[in-house]
Structure 1
Amino acid sequence: MTWSSHRAFRVEILGCPILQQGTQTCWKANNVTEIPTFDIFSTTKTNLGECGKECHGQEKCHGFTFNHESGLCQGHSHSNYLNVTLHPVEGANGSSSSLLFVKQEACP
């Protein structure tokens, strides 16, 4: 890698948002194809964690997608992603899929 003037390093730490009451939400990432448009919210966030916190804070939000390039964060209800095609993250290929983070019933 090359650099000019100053070296820089960027790190993003992914995790589960934890509320002060001690409850938490755990997410499972899946590659999806043909996800419908958002039906809960659409906003811009600076990172994946902030997008997860946005969905966590809304009772009807059961999944979200986040675009790292644009910062677009979109929340989805359970019924909105029932008919999408899910692919395991490690087994998916192709540029037509995107990551959908879905709330888990219980954290491991």
Structure 2
Amino acid sequence: TNLVDVSMKAVEICHLYISPGHNFVGHHGREPDAYPMIEVPMIECVAGLGIRDDRYFDFKNNYKGQITFFSLEVFDELCATLGLHDCSPASLRRNVMTRGVDLNELIGE
């Protein structure tokens, strides 16, 4: 777990994930692949390209999905509401799982 200061708020980075390939993108009419989400201790972000070794790295120049975030508070609430137990945040296929920040406030920043 790492703490990051965003506008005087402590943000907890709880999980970092990458995936070597796409399970759904480009599979129109075919079965999905089974590339796993791999939890890593750190990621290398390259401006305009994304996360090195992730499926979206250099996908398209300045692609808005080159890194994705999801709130663990929202994940926990979804699991509780849907009665899901033993569900991993990796199942969302997002790169950075956070606590302590309203991610919607960061859109466009």
Shorter-chain TM-score range: under 0.3
**Structure number with higher relative contact order (C-alpha < 8 Å, ≥ 6 residues apart):** 1
